[in-house]
Every structure is written in structure tokens, then in C-alpha cells.
Amino acid sequence: MPVSINQLRAIIQTAADKRTQREKAQHLVDAICDVLCVPVSSLYVTTGEELLLVATKGLSESGIGCTRLPMGVGLVGSIAESGNALNLANAPEHPAFHRVDELAEDSFVGFMGVPIVHLGHTVGVLVVQTNESRAFNDEEESFVITIASQLAVDFDIADFVQTEGLSNYVLNGKAASPGIGIGPVVWVNSSELYEDIDPEPSFIPSEQRHCFEGALDLAKRDVEDTLGSLGAEHNLDGLADAYGAMLSDPGFIEAVYSFIELGHCASFAVQQASENIIDALQAIDDPYLKARADDVFHVASKIVAHCRAQDLEAIVHDHPIVLVGHNVAATDIAAYPSGALAGVISSSGSGLSHTAIVAKALGIPCVMGVENISAIDVGQDLIVEGNLGRVIVHPTSALLQEYHELRAREAQEYAELAELRDLMAITLDGQRIQLLVNTGLLSEITPGLKMGAEGIGLYRSEIPFLVAESFPTESEQEAIYRQVLECYNGKPVYMRTLDIGGDKPLPYFSFSEQNPFLGWRGIRFTLDNRPILRTQLRAMLRASIGLPTLNIMVPMVGEIDQIDAFKTLLEQCRQELIETGLDVRQPKVGIMLEVPSLISQMDFLSGRVDFISIGSNDLTQYLLAVDRNNERVASLFNHVHPAVIAEVYRIVRKAKTLGIKIGVCGEMASHPLAVILLLGMDIDSLSMSAFQLPKIKCLIRALSQERAELILQRALRKSSAAAIHELLLQELRDSGVDYLFKSLG
């Protein structure tokens, strides 16, 4: 039974085009039965220590969402546990066979099951069965294996699980920011028209009419503001008119009202009314009218997004909320006032994305790369376990109470650590390490001071650029920078010049690159856009008048010429301001060392820079050739990898030889295991998020520099990250403060 590549692609693509997860899963099993001419195909998905039947053709449909098989039990459980396929002519004779009465599968003898493996983990099992006593041939087996492989790549298999009625359901992700968050869900970027919306007719029509009308007005305003200006600029006036006509179409509006009068919510009413129009347009054999279905989709999506925003307005104002999205951005977090967020959950990204970094800086529990995120409903209460990288959906009242108590205990730990605020980070044998804070939002300034920061080790100047609607003016930047310098008056402030690109694109200055992390970033971008850099440098210099603690830090330096060009431009800006009568002092200038090519050029830094700050996130990424935001390889990103430790040690020793102050400002600075090694290297300073400061200070005060140096030498002789991790973990336990770092195991 030869199967063409086109058949395989068609099955996967058609499934991907289905509107709901249930439809996607069902299409897959139906298509497999049709191609193989077999009576049964089933899809099971792993949920913790069990497998759940999420779709079947040929078995009893009553088992969908109900039938659970323990891992390792039965044929399906054995496949999931071992990761190996089974192809059996007579399944009941196999010693692992386990009868599931509710599935009514007694008449099916031939059996083949194939594991669905994603990033090395079995996430599901795909099964085909026949009533003949025969093994499946090689071509049939190859087909099912290929489908299973494509499933693992093209779908988040966990999304096929329907969680309605499941209490304390756990979604796994990556620990990104520690702590426990509890609160109701608010979705961001939730304009997808076909997301599941509550279909139950249990709403008050008058309230929903008001919600719809408000959302309709906001959608019209969106069209006028965005498409109107676009049309005027590019001679596309008809575009705004077409969208406006759809938003005012009486037939569409009346259809929405009819669903609302039946008791449905406004979002569901818009969804249903627009689906009817879309289906009708797609059924017409006219390419132009078919294309108009996309217009209806986009317009209806706008209305649904505004409906949901209004529904959640009271929640946002009354309670700290959990922000959820497929791709939550740092700017989404920045849009909320201090204390408004109980947690952040994103289905994409890693613990080293800037979303996670901002969440950590603000002390907001965060989990990235969360599976089955579509199971999270708007408005429901969630538990965010930032320490372990887990999210608990539909928690029972008993579990909520337990986590409230855990959160209270964590708060007590921080209260006890607060006693260290005014103490120095000094090791048991008297070695002092300067502890600084990473910041970028004005709302982060106060937490750093409250936690005992001795200054700002990394001020991310791009944050004001990211949250603005256009490039900030010199005066706007000066006001922000001066406020930061005034808050830390008398303490050093290291301001990094604009560092966009990679996972930090500007919304009003977008450009596309095949490899953005290797592209137009940091000093490469600003030297190519000198008016932007000149404006920023003038703003920093003006802000520092009378506040002589400014240090300017240059990111992504890979060549000595870049430092020389930067310093020339800086001096030009300073002289310009002096000529206007301003008393501008020469700030100290340093670099972030994150490009490996600079390590071998460090001798040339003598006399050129006043300090070096190791940007451990990018340096690790480039040394290991690992994109830290790519979920397929993010697990390979490791600050205690032997190569990373060796290169960081090499940098520190060279800086000491040259007499250049050396610090670390990436996530390595707050990773407790890495901190032990950095102490052994005799690092001068560490800069981290405010809420990590007390724990790291406590760790430093529990260690001796001499002991840390011995551990470093032992680590340098290890050949694997796992061996180094275990060595450092034992040292952390011996220090007696491992209870502060629960996520390390």
C-alpha cells in the first residue's frame, strides 16, 4: 500500500486547518483509517503518569476524554513507557495486553501502536487496529511512524486534551521566574476568532448587547485609526471603507443580536454570526468572494478581542491577574501597573527570553513554553508554580488553600531575608562582591533599592523604546535617565545603549532577518543608525549633569574598531553639550562581553575600556550554538556547561591581568550554582533582578571564597554539565541555604 508524500502532507495540512483541537484530532484518526483501510485508529495523549484517549474512529466514542491508561499498563501504556512501537498479529496474546471494557475493542485483533516523541519525550501514542489476525506490513508501519513524527513536529499534542471537568490538571512548561502566583486569567493577543468560547446560553442579553455595541465601536475606531492612515499613505482608501462596511452591515449585526437574545455571550454571538457568513462566502465558486471571507474573519476577530477585554475589565481592576498568551511579550507585562500581575504564562519562549527576564525583575512568577495552553479559560483561577515550571488548571478549593499557605511561607522567607538588606555581600573569609540590580522599567527602580542593591549593573535603555509608539526624543529620554540616576544618587548606574534585535524588535522600526540573534543588534545597529545613538548619548550625558555616577555600557561588541568609533562619537556629543554651556563630565565607558570573538582580543581593551560586564545569556548562546528561545534546543542551554565555565574563567583572569573591573550581568549572576563558581573566579560584581538579590546575598555570606575556588578547580576537570551540576548542588546543600532554591531539586 504505497502512500505518497502528497497524501501525508494533505492529512497534516487539513488537520492543521481545522478550527478546534477536537476537530484536528478527529480528522487525523479518520484519515488514517481511510488511507490504511482499517476499522480503528486512535490517538492517546500523555497527561502526567497517564494516557488519555482524545480521538478515535472505530472504538466507542464515549471513551473520548474519559478513558485513562496508566503509564506502563497495557499495550498503549507499554509503548508510552518504553518509547518503542508494537506491531502484533494477535494483540490479546501479548503479555502486556489489558482489556478496557468501555472501548468495546474485543473484535479487533491486529494491533500496531507507535509512540509520538517530542524533544526526546513520549507525548502520545498513535494506534491502528484491524479485526484480522495479521501484523501490519512495512509500508503501513512506515506510514503510521511518519504520521506520528509529523504530529510531534507540527502540533502541540497536549493541546488535544480537553480539560473540562478535570480538577487540579497540571500543564508543564519551563520555570522562568520563581514564586507562586494565584489569580484569574486574562489572555493577551487573544484575537483568534476560533478559540473556544463558552457556548452556554446563561448570560443576560441586555448586558451582552451593551458589551457587543462597545466592542463594535472600538473595532470601528481601530479601522479608522490604522487602516485609515494606511490607506491615505498608500492610496488604499477602499480598504478602510470595505472593513467599515462590514462593521456596519445590518445583517451581521442582527445575526449577533439574535444569538445574544438566546442568552449567549457577546463573543460567542460574534463568533457564530461571522462563521455563518464565512461558510457562505467560502461555498461560492468565485475567488474574489472567497477572499472576502478572510476580511470577515479579521473584522470579527477584532470585535471578539474587544468583547473579551470589556468582560475582563472588572477583573483587571479588582484582582491581580495571570497574564496568558501564545506569545506574551515584555511590552505586554510593562502595560500593567505594579502589583496588577499575579503571574505570567506563555506557550512560547524560554526562561531566558526577555519576557521572562522582565517578569523575574518585577518578581512575577512566570512559566514559559507551557503545553496545552488552550485548556486555560478566560477568567478562571490558576496556580502558577514559577519554581517548578508548572501551571495548575481548575484547582480545587483545598489545593488553592494549600498554595495560599505556601505563598505565605515564601513571603515569610523574604521577610527574613530583608534583614540582610543593609549588609554587604561578604564571604565567610572576607571577600566582598558588589551586588547590583538589572532594570529597565521605572516601576523596577524602587524594588532594587528595597532589596539592598548597591547600584544598577544593567539599565536596559531599550525598554522605553519598546513601549513607545515612536523613537523617544532627546528630552523624553533625558527625563527617564535622570529619574533613574536620581533614584540611585551616589550609587553607580551602568546604562546600556540601545540593544534591539533578536527577541527585542521595535514595533515602529521592524525589519526581518533569517538569523536575528546573529544579525543587526546592539552596537552594530546603533553605529549604522548614528542619529539614534547620538540622540541617546546626548540624553544620557545631559541627564548625568550633577550626578556623576553614570557609566555607559556598549552591547554586542565584536571588534575593537566598534569601541573606538563609539568613544569618538561619545566625545563629539560631550563637546557639543559643553559648547552650549553645560558642565558635562566624561563618564566611564565599558562593554558587555557576549560575542566570543572578543575574548581573543582582550589585550586590546587595555586603555580603551574602564570595565567589562559579561553578558552571560548571549555569551552562552553563542558558545553553545543554542538559540535559548527555541524550545527544541533550549534544554541544551546551560550556564554550567564545561565550555561556558572555561571561557568565563578565561575572561575573568584576563581582565584581572589587565586591571579592568569585571562583573556578570546575565542570568548566570543569579543562578546559585553558577554563583559558587563565579565566587571561585574572584568576580568583582554580580547584577541581577531585584527579587533575586536577597537569596544570592544569603548564599554568598554562607560560603568562603577559598572553598569556592576549590570547587571551581574541581568543576573545570569535569567533562559534562550534569557532573558539574551535581557537584555544585551538593555544595549548595552543604552551605545550608539550598531551601532558598527549591527549583534546583
Instruction: Classify each residue of 449-465 as buried b or exposed e, where b means 16 or more C-beta atoms within 10 Å of its C-beta.
Output: eebbbbbbbbbbbbbbb
Q: Across the beta sheet with 321-325, what order do the strands follow?
A: 169-172, 390-393, 381-385, 180-187, 321-325, 341-346, 366-368, 174-177
Residue 99 CB partners (closer than 8 Å, separation 6+): 92, 105, 106
**What's residue 312's pLDDT?**
47
Average pLDDT over every residue of 103-116: 87
Average pLDDT over every residue of 659-663: 97
Alpha carbon distance 123, 112 (integer Å) = 17
In this structure, are residues 267 and 308 in contact, taking their beta carbons and an 8 Å threshold? yes
Q: Is residue 259 predicted with pLDDT exceeding 60? A: yes
Number of Cβ within 10 Å of residue 586's Cβ equals 11
CATH topology of domain 169-189+326-413: Glucose Oxidase; domain 1 (3.50.30)
**What's residue 501's pLDDT?**
64
In 3D space, the residue among 369, 319, 317, 315 whose CA is nearest the CA of residue 346 turns out to be 369
Q: Is residue 684 predicted with pLDDT exceeding 90? A: yes
Q: Among the listed ranges 116-125, 160-169, 598-607, which one has the minimum average pLDDT value?
A: 160-169
Q: Is residue 310 predicted with pLDDT exceeding 60? A: no
Q: CA dihedral defined by 411, 413, 415, 421, rounded to 10 degrees?
A: -130
Q: Among the listed ranges 269-273, 517-521, 575-579, which one has the minimum average pLDDT value?
A: 517-521
Q: Helical H runs in 418-454?
A: 445-450
Average pLDDT over every residue of 589-612: 97
152-173, pLDDT tens digit by residue? 776 666 666 665 556 677 788 8
In this structure, are residues 438 and 665 in contact, taking their beta carbons and an 8 Å threshold? yes
Residue identified by cell 455571550 is 265
Q: For residue 115, report the phi and psi dihedrals to the nearest 5 degrees.
A: -70, 145
385-425, pLDDT tens digit by residue? 987 888 988 888 888 898 888 888 888 887 888 888 889 99
- Between 484 and 406, residue with greater pLDDT: 484
Average pLDDT over every residue of 581-608: 96
**What's residue 505's pLDDT?**
64
Q: Is residue 237 predicted with pLDDT exceeding 50? A: no
Q: What is the mean pLDDT of the chain?
A: 84
Average pLDDT over every residue of 678-702: 94
Q: Among the listed ranges 91-105, 217-231, 625-639, which one has the minimum average pLDDT value?
A: 217-231
Q: Is residue 357 predicted with pLDDT exceeding 70? A: yes
Grid coordinates representing 668 are: 548566570
Alpha carbon distance 437, 361 (integer Å) = 9
**What's residue 196's pLDDT?**
54
**What's residue 563's pLDDT?**
97
Q: Is residue 441 predicted with pLDDT exceeding 60? A: yes
The pairing of beta strand 110-118 with beta strand 121-130: antiparallel
Q: Helical H runs in 546-689?
A: 560-579, 616-624, 642-658, 672-680
**Percent of the chain scoring above 90 in pLDDT:** 39
Average pLDDT over every residue of 348-365: 76
- Between 225 and 155, residue with greater pLDDT: 155
Domain 205-314: CATH architecture, name and number where available: Orthogonal Bundle (1.10)
Query: Is residue 379 left, alpha or beta, with left meaning phi > 0 and alpha meaning psi from -120 to 50?
Result: left
Radius of gyration of the chain (CA): 29
Number of Cβ within 10 Å of residue 55's Cβ equals 24
Give me the residue spans of the domains in the chain: 5-160, 169-189+326-413, 205-314, 421-744
Residue identified by cell 583572569 is 653
Average pLDDT over every residue of 42-57: 86
Alpha carbon distance 442, 420 (integer Å) = 24
3 state DSSP class of 202:
coil
**What's residue 409's pLDDT?**
83
Active site (catalytic) residues? 354, 665
pLDDT band at 315 (very low <50, low <70, confident <90, very high): very low
Residue identified by cell 476524554 is 65
Burial degree of 328 (CB within 10 A; 0-12, 13-18, 19+): buried
Alpha carbon distance 548, 508 (integer Å) = 33
Average pLDDT over every residue of 333-345: 82
Alpha carbon distance 72, 666 (integer Å) = 42
Tell me how long the chain is. Answer: 745
Q: For residue 614, report the phi and psi dihedrals to the nearest 5 degrees.
A: -75, 115
> What 3 state SS string does 698-731 have?
HHHHCCCHHHHHHHHHHHHCCCCHHHHHHHHHHH
The H or E element containing residue 57 is: strand 50-57
pLDDT band at 230 (very low <50, low <70, confident <90, very high): very low
Alpha carbon distance 417, 415 (integer Å) = 5
- Alpha-carbon separation of residue 209 from 216, 274, 502 (angstroms): 10, 16, 43
Report the interhelical angle of 642-658 vs 616-624 (nearest 10°). 130
Report the interhelical angle of 266-282 vs 205-222 (nearest 10°). 60
- Between 591 and 162, residue with greater pLDDT: 591
Q: Is residue 713 predicted with pLDDT exceeding 90? A: yes
**What's residue 615's pLDDT?**
94
Average pLDDT over every residue of 662-678: 94
Average pLDDT over every residue of 515-521: 79
**What's residue 229's pLDDT?**
46
Grid coordinates representing 248 are: 456596519
Q: Among the listed ranges 33-37, 80-84, 453-457, 626-630, which one has the minimum average pLDDT value?
A: 626-630
Grid coordinates representing 675 are: 554563583
Grid coordinates representing 362 are: 518585577
Class level of CATH domain 421-744 = alpha beta
**What's residue 255's pLDDT?**
86
**What's residue 511's pLDDT?**
67
The pairing of beta strand 86-88 with beta strand 341-346: unpaired
pLDDT band at 234 (very low <50, low <70, confident <90, very high): very low
Residue type, 531: P
Residue 127 CB partners (closer than 8 Å, separation 6+): 40, 41, 42, 43, 44, 76, 111, 112, 113, 114
Residue type, 241: D
Residue type, 384: V
Q: For residue 683, report the phi and psi dihedrals to the nearest 5 degrees.
A: -70, 150
Average pLDDT over every residue of 528-544: 95
CA angle centred on 334, ends 330 and 340, rounded to 5° = 120
Q: Is residue 536 predicted with pLDDT exceeding 90? A: yes
In this structure, are residues 566 and 555 in contact, taking their beta carbons and an 8 Å threshold? no
- What are the helix and strand counts (H, E) for the chain? 26, 22
Grid coordinates representing 334 are: 510593562
Alpha carbon distance 453, 436 (integer Å) = 5
In this structure, are residues 420 and 694 in contact, taking their beta carbons and an 8 Å threshold? yes
**What's residue 411's pLDDT?**
82
Residue type, 389: G
Residue identified by cell 548566570 is 668
In 3D space, the residue among 187, 181, 186 whose CA is nearest the CA of residue 400 turns out to be 181
The H or E element containing residue 206 is: helix 205-222
- Alpha-carbon separation of residue 344 from 141, 366, 486, 521 (angstroms): 42, 5, 31, 27
CATH topology of domain 5-160: Beta-Lactamase (3.30.450)
pLDDT band at 314 (very low <50, low <70, confident <90, very high): very low
**What's residue 236's pLDDT?**
42
